[in-house]
Amino acid sequence: MSHELPEHPDWLWRTPDPKRAYDVVIVGAGGHGLATAYYLARDHGITDVAVLERGWLAGGNMARNTTIIRSNYLCDASAAIYEHALKLWETLPEELEYDFLFSQRGVLNLAHTLQDVREGIRRVHANRLGGIDAQWLDPDEVRAFCPIVNTSPEVRYPVLGATLQPRAGIAKHDHVAWALARKADAYGIDLIQGCEVTGFVRDGERVVGVETTRGRIGAGRVALAAAGHTSTLADLLGLRLPLQSHPLQALVSELLEPVHPTVVMSNHVHVYVSQAHKGELVMGAGIDSYNGYGQRGSFHQIEHQMAAALELFPIFARAHVLRTWGGIVDVTPDASPIIGSTPIENLYLNCGWGTGGFKATPASGRVYADTIATGTPHPLAAPFALERFTTGALIDEHGAAAVAH
Amino acid sequence: MTQPHRLADGGRLDRSTPVRFTFDGTEYTGYPGDTLASALLANGVIEVAPSLYRRRPRGIATAGVDEPHALVQVAEPMLAATTVELHDGLSATSLPGLGRLDQASDEAVHDKMYGHADVVVIGGGPAGLAAALAAARSGARTVLVDDQPELGGALLSGHEEIGGRPALEWVEAVRAELSDTAEVRILTRSTAIGYHDQNYLLIAERRTGHLGPQPLPAAGRGRLWHVRARQVVLATGAHEHPMVFAGNDRPGVMSAAAVRSYLNRYAVLPGRRAVVLTTNDHAYGTALDLAAAGVEVAALVDTRPQPPVALAEAARRAGIEVLAGSAVVGTSGDTRIASARIAELAPDDTLRGPVRELGCDLLAVSGGWSPAVHLWSQSRGSLRFDEALAAFVPAQAAQQVRAVGAARGTYDLAGCLREGSAAGAEAATLAGFEAAAPPVPPSVGDPRPALPRPVWLVPAEEGEPATWRDHFVDSQRDATVADVHRAIRAGMRSIEHIKRYTTIGTAHDQGKAAGPTAIGVISRLLGASSPAEVGTTTFRGPYTPVSFALLAGRERGGLFDPVRTTSIHPWHAEHGAVFENVGQWKRPRYYPRPGEDMDAAVLRECRAARGAVAAMDVSTLGKIDVIGADAGAFLDRVYTNGFAGLAVGSARYGIMCRPDGMVFDDGVTVRLADDHYYLTTTTGNAAAVLDWLEEWLQTEWPELRVHCTSVTEQWATVAVVGPESRAVLADLAPDLDVSKEAFPFMTARQATLSNGIPARICRISFSGELAYEINVPSWYGLAVWEAVLAAGEGHGITPYGTETMHVLRAEKGYPIVGQDTDGTVTPQDLGMEWIVAKHKQFIGKRSFRRADTARADRRRLVGLLPLDRAELLPEGAQLIADETALTGPPVRMIGHVTSSYRSAALGRTFALALVERGRDRIGEKVYAPLPDGRLVAATVTEPVLLDPKGARRDG
Amino acid sequence: MLLIACPWCGERDEVEFHYGGQAHVAYPSDPEALSDAEWAQYLFVRDNPKGPFAERWSHAAGCRRWFNVVRHTVTHEILAVHPAGRPKPVIA
């Protein structure tokens, strides 16, 4: 784990000036925006594309997440899109010619109450029938798989079992973004940083371009991929969305010799932790209750996270928090994303991934690109349309994913 | 063992009691007052573990929290040797930037402290002391925070004078005055690690670590202070940064300020023959102190072509050759530095002229100074690049805070004292006190420095930056100029990308010292005119690493989350109950008799309830008094069914939904009086329901005259269940007419029990049996429980737990919110159309008409009877429509098992399930494919499997 | 850790409070008169501004009263606090 990271390619991307217009303008050069650009080119041959980024490329949640990748979701629609993502992850390092340290080390979701057990078994059964690898482990099997988890029955909320998805794991988030950016750039797509969208150019009910801090850019189609800032962009169009932006914090320890072989998540005790390739423990804290765009949350979330971590991993007591940070997660009422068209012609929406965006990156980009290119929702995206909030056909992962990632 | 590099006298050491310690297995001695690093240097040890990736030899490089190399494992992993106080018996091993977690559990406790202050001063150097003094004299509640064992800051490492006396005498006088002032707290060994919204400061105090292996009894190893400050003064000082030249990572290359600190504060000679390299005035003090201590200073290399005349003169007087307009361009040595190569710098920082090589075992480097703006930046204060100081300095404050002294780029002692004093007075004034800045005493030493000449990147003697692999930008990460160059060549322009590509600034020191240097290097390689164009990365907390255990505090083990128990709990524990966590409550799950497993115990308990009588402690159910003239009208709006018309003395089951129409909670409510309802909730939802009721009352319907009070813990409740429960109750409450006619189902009575205890008795049933719930003030709970058991003894009364409760209710098709529902289930999905009032409005009603919610093929609650009467379906098992449907994946699933049990009454297994169009499938078969490959068939039934007419319940 | 001034109890740490999202969103007076889309607006759509935001808090571990706060969602600065039922203040 402590080896030097693999060498990056010698060339990544250009720093072009924006053209006057593009077929497709993607707003937001995070993982999803970059993946969308890549798949527009790869799958649909659409390369007259600009990806606009107000800050630096992949500097938002893509740079701030805890890098967990899994597909063991409960709802059919969620499981389908995340499993599509996982299958893409499995071939992406080779396809993108970039070793972004995708490591299928498994994810344990611990159960601490009888209801947790029921939910876990429900998910395992659903996953297996959905073609997703899933197992139920009893406490002894949990200990065998991850010896540092405290499986003593004496703790406040003993581990009663866990679901295991062996194909789940982690990847190096920055490198994923750079891998996608590099290939998108190679297709001729313009990645334009330091370019903030300040308005939309409309022609009646259609959107035909964007105003930016670097001037007006015409667009055949505009695709939002701006995560926590989606609401502020939609506000410019008078479009109100079922989104709330919240702070979410994470932290890393110093580099440590390998102790933690997998990824452990516990909704009940509020822990998710892995050990990254360099050796640091990477952990996420709970989401702050209040709305916030400041990329920082309240410290009691971190303190509680540490208490929870020590409940499950007494060995972590002497580890140190080296660095904390916060991101902005855009959360929908059913904790599932919104993908698809909008009431405004030529404007597309991909947002609301909440705490689950990183793991979905390739699938999100792929189905979004397909939806943009064809003008009709990709089958995997269709259930995630905005209309579900009117019909009530929510994809409610809340039960299974109170703090899940 | 002698300490060959220890000066004969001086230093802030207690020489009377030498202490022994081991480092990498070798024993050494040092003194109290030493750090591990200073003691190692005193023993001539400068080399520490080699670097993590390139295995380069490395040495102690600083004397503080910015140490990049000297990382050690004590009990904790990864402490900087420069911050570890020496104590007798200390045993440390060097680490190559990779720590090791001890498998042994850590029993040390840590505490959380919470404080409020008018003025918090961070930093106990001259500026901070002056600020604290000014604030304290006004009467303001003042907290002074310093990370060292003693106050004084940079004064500990020099020999300045204040008020005509040695500066440390002034420090002591200030400390004494502050200590004697009411409302002042001095926190030493305390590092301010975080600066959060609304002047919320986090301070990590180290309490026992420096004492060695005898911690104070009952004292926490550390404390995490949470201090809310009206005003803050940041006197956090400045970090000296290294310079980037070939071989700048070699052991013996050390911060010039650190060298001075080792000489003066720790009485240690870090070398015998030194070269000093500087961009600024500060290192002249180092050179002069080295010479005064007997070290041969081979040269003082100043990047500035024209160093200040007075300083240059002083150096020459001390016999030190000053090489102006020059820089060190390379080092050599086996491991430790043996010589430095020096060349003249052209105005554009290129090399010119011959290279001169000077032998040395110490290269003291001052690459410039940067204010410690970490906390300022955490507070959201903005920064600007000061071209004259060549550093990022505080600009606009975002909170009630000001930076003083070196923390804002004021490096002269007189300026620090003046700014500190003024800031302390200003802060106290703004906090509401009458404060005046005390007169600033005159000082000698540390005059206002001349301008530096920053040289961010000293070229190699040959080649291009792409090949400069020995120019270390972040030595702990082994990141070099070549790496930065490669990142830029790959297309990266943002410092954030370059940082991430090269990993600069991400190591244990988080780039405290080398960060500004890295920005300088990047600006040079990007061709920027100034580091201002590049900017900084975000300064993230904590300022220094803090242990997980410190942040966890005492919220561990039993204190991680409160345990709630009922007043009857001791009986359950004594009688061998197996407990289940339900929310924070401990509830008996079952009461095994010797030799029984759970299945056997539950079958026995169920038989008792159905065949005779059984009792359960149901005190954990949430209970809310809803009182007021509009209580009925209020409940009508909250529940899907009506409560205003409920007769006094009667009870009714109700369901409440969220606005989206999904079931939120359920329970029985009793009307005790016209204006008094006694509402029960599920155990886990009690607090949420109270919150819910109050929210609607206060924010939507403030006109309703209703108030709600949680009485969950005021009442203990015992359920007496079974055909013989009436006889037990008659015995228990002899004055109560318990006849079917006088006390019918769904009514409540007030009674006095035979033991004199007043009770509220409800004839309600969650089992389908004749049953009563006896509510008594909770301090009578245990007595009443025992009285119930005594009264039932002749009937074989059997205590039962949640598992039996679940079986009994499931046999009757009663759902459990949260088990048979999951937030996507409507009352209609549960087959409870009857409970949804047609002719009144209630929360969520509108949602039932939405397209998806009104769908005919929604999943509905049904019963399942496995064809094999002994086959217990797993709870959570997914269901498919027919045995040939196993194609895929994905396999089309039509529902799942929510509850599944063995029934004593039915003599078989059964389950409840949510199944698509479930009510239309009654009589059909569905199938559960199990992970072991079996396909279990079950018949869909009505959810009520026992006594559908309710004869037992109503009997 | 925000510092919130409860109108009844004074300044307290955020952990004593419960967050309630956007303020001044009334339960529709006649839900049955609304279209599904209008009802969905009430159920699920709330403002999400980057800047001043009128929001609800409840002093859950104190007086248990709900009240309204105008807070800046970037700086977290609290610009106004007022009891429930009062109109939203105008923040310059």
DSSP string, A275-325: E-TTSEEEEEEEEPSS---SS---HHHHHHHHHHHHHH-GGGGG-EEEEEE
Nearest to B553 among A174, A303, A322 (CB): A303
Task: Give the pLDDT score at A404.
Answer: 35
Q: Is the pLDDT of residue A2 over 70?
A: no
Is the pLDDT confidence value at A402 over 50? no
Interface of B with A in 479-518 (CB under 8 A): 486-487, 489-494, 496-497, 500-501, 503, 506-508, 510
Could you tell me if B581 lies within 8 Å of chain A, comparing CB atoms? yes
What value does the mean pLDDT take over residues B496-518? Answer: 92
A401, burial (CB in 10 Å: exposed 0-12, middle 13-18, buried 19+): buried
List Cβ neighbours of B572 (8 Å cut-off, separation of 6 or more).
Answer: B579, B588, B591, B617, B799
Q: Is the pLDDT of residue B365 over 60?
A: yes
pLDDT one-digit tens code per residue, B388-442: 999 999 999 999 999 999 999 999 999 999 999 999 999 999 999 999 989 999 9
Q: Decide if C67 touches A, using CB distance below 8 A.
A: no
pLDDT at C87 over 80: no
Is A295 in the C-facing interface, judged by CB distances under 8 Å? no
The pLDDT > 90 percentage for chain B reads 94
List the one residue out of A265, A352, A359, A253 whose CA is nearest residue A302: A253
Q: Do A241 and C48 touch (CB under 8 A)?
A: yes
Is some CB atom of chain A closer than 8 A to the CB atom of C3? no
Question: Is the Cα dihedral B797, B803, B806, B808 positive or negative?
Answer: negative
Token pair of B141 as six digits:
């509640």
Which residues does chain C have within 8 Å of residue A232's beta carbon, measured at their own beta carbons? 48-50
Note whether A166 contacts C: Cβ–Cβ < 8 A: no
CA distance A297 to chain C (A): 8
- Which pLDDT does position B214 carry in this prediction? 61
Contact check, Cβ <8 Å, B878/A253: no
User: Percentage of residues in chain A with pLDDT exceeding 70?
Assistant: 97
Tokens at A42, concatenated: 């790869």
| Contact: A390, B563; criterion CB under 8 Å | no
Contact partners for chain C, using 3 or more CB pairs closer than 8 A, are A, B
| CATH class of the domain at C3-30+43-83 | alpha beta
| Mean pLDDT, residues B120-141 | 98
pLDDT tens figures, B228-281: 999 999 999 999 999 999 999 999 999 999 999 999 999 999 999 999 999 999
Q: What is the mean pLDDT of residues A290-312?
A: 95
Query: A403 falls in which pLDDT band (50, 70, 90)?
Result: very low
3-state SS class at B870: coil
Task: Taking residues B710-728, report their average pLDDT.
Answer: 98
Put simply, the answer to whether C48 touches A291 (Cβ < 8 Å) is yes
Residue B922 scores a pLDDT above 70: yes
State mean pLDDT over B80-87: 97
- Asked whether the predicted pLDDT for residue B771 surpasses 80, the reply is yes
Q: What is the per-residue pLDDT for A6?
A: 76
What number of residues does chain A have? 405
Cβ burial B271-298 (10 Å sphere, 16+ → b, else e): bebbbbbbbbbbbbbbbbbbbeeebbbb
| 8 Å CB contact of C19 and A289 | yes
Q: Tokens 């015998």 sit at which residue?
A: B272
Cβ atoms B478, B519 nearer than 8 A: no
pLDDT at residue B535, as a whole number: 93
Roughly what angle, to the nearest 10 degrees, separates helices B598-611 and B802-811? 60
Q: Is C71 on the interface with A (CB under 8 A)?
A: yes
Kindly list the residues from chain A whose CB atom is less than 8 angstroms away from the CB atom of residue B581: 112-113, 157
CB B304 within 8 A of CB B327: no
CA-wise closest residue to B154 among B251, B245, B238: B238
Query: Which of the other chains make 3 or more beta carbon contacts under 8 angstroms with chain A?
Result: B, C
What angle do the packed helices A114-129 and A76-96 form, to 10 degrees? 60
Tell me if B229 sits within 8 A of B444, measured CB to CB: no
Distances (CA, A) of B328 to A7, A393, B243, B722: 31, 70, 9, 93
Contact by Cβ (8 Å): B237, B145: no
**C19–A298 C-beta distance less than 8 A:** no
pLDDT value at residue B217:
57
Average confidence (pLDDT) over B513-527 = 94
Which tens digit of pLDDT belongs to each residue from A196-252? 999 999 999 999 999 999 999 999 999 999 999 999 999 999 999 999 999 999 999
pLDDT of residue A1: 36
8 A C-beta contact, residue B413 and residue B160: yes
**B-chain residues near A391 (CB < 8 A):** 850-852
pTM of the predicted protein model: 0.96
Nearest CA in chain B to C61: B691
- The residues facing B652 across adjacent strands are B669
Give the position of tokens 């709900």: C66
Separation between Cα atoms, residue C37 and residue C47, nearest integer Å:
16
B557 pLDDT band, cuts 50/70/90, is confident
What pLDDT shows up at residue A399?
A: 53
Query: Which residues face C22 on adjacent strands?
Result: C55
Say if residue B449 is preceded by a cis peptide, omega within 30 of 0. Answer: no
What's the Cα-to-Cα distance from A229 to each of A244, A315, A388, C44, rounded to whole Å? 10, 39, 22, 18
Measured CA to CA, the distance from residue B73 to residue B63 in angstroms comes to 17
Phi/psi at B284 (nearest 5 deg)?
Answer: -65, -40
d(CA B124, CA B406): 12
> Which residues of chain A make contact with B823, given a CB cutoff of 8 A?
396, 398-399
The residue of chain A nearest to residue C46, with distances taken between CA atoms, is: A242
pLDDT band at A401 (very low <50, low <70, confident <90, very high): very low
Residues on chain C touching B851 (C-beta within 8 angstroms)? 36
Confidence tier at A304 by pLDDT (50, 70, 90): very high
pLDDT in tens, A65-75: 999 999 999 99
Cβ–Cβ gap B510/A323 under 8 Å: yes
Give the tens place of pLDDT for each residue, B873-906: 999 999 999 877 777 788 999 999 999 999 999 9
More confident residue, C91 or B359: B359
DSSP string spanning B459-523? PPSSS-GGG-TTBEEETTTTEEHHHHHHHHHTT--SHHHHHHHHTTT-STTTTTTTHHHHHHHHH
Q: Average pLDDT in the B136-148 region?
A: 98
**Predicted pLDDT of residue B215:** 58
Q: Is residue A287's pLDDT more than 60?
A: yes
Query: Closest-CA residue in chain A for B74?
Result: A318
Is residue B714 predicted with pLDDT exceeding 90? yes
Confidence of residue B103 (pLDDT cuts 50, 70, 90): confident
C45/A242 CB distance under 8 A: yes
ipTM reported for the complex, 2 dp: 0.97
Query: Is the Cβ pair B702, C60 closer than 8 Å?
Result: no
pLDDT of residue A4: 61
Closest CA–CA distance from residue A237 to any residue of chain B (Å)? 27
Q: Where are the alpha helices (DSSP H) in B192-244?
A: none
Please compute the mean of the pLDDT values over residues A82-87 and round it to a whole number: 98
- Asked if B799 contacts B591 with a C-beta cutoff of 8 angstroms, the reply is yes
Cα-atom radius of gyration of chain B, to the nearest Å? Answer: 38
Q: Burial, A38: exposed, middle or buried (Cβ in 10 Å; 0-12, 13-18, 19+)?
A: buried
Q: What is the pLDDT of residues B22-35, one digit of tens each?
A: 999 999 999 999 99
CA distance B938 to B936: 7
Predicted pLDDT at B930:
95
Window 870-889 of B: residues touching A by CB (8 A cutoff) are: 874-878, 880, 888-889
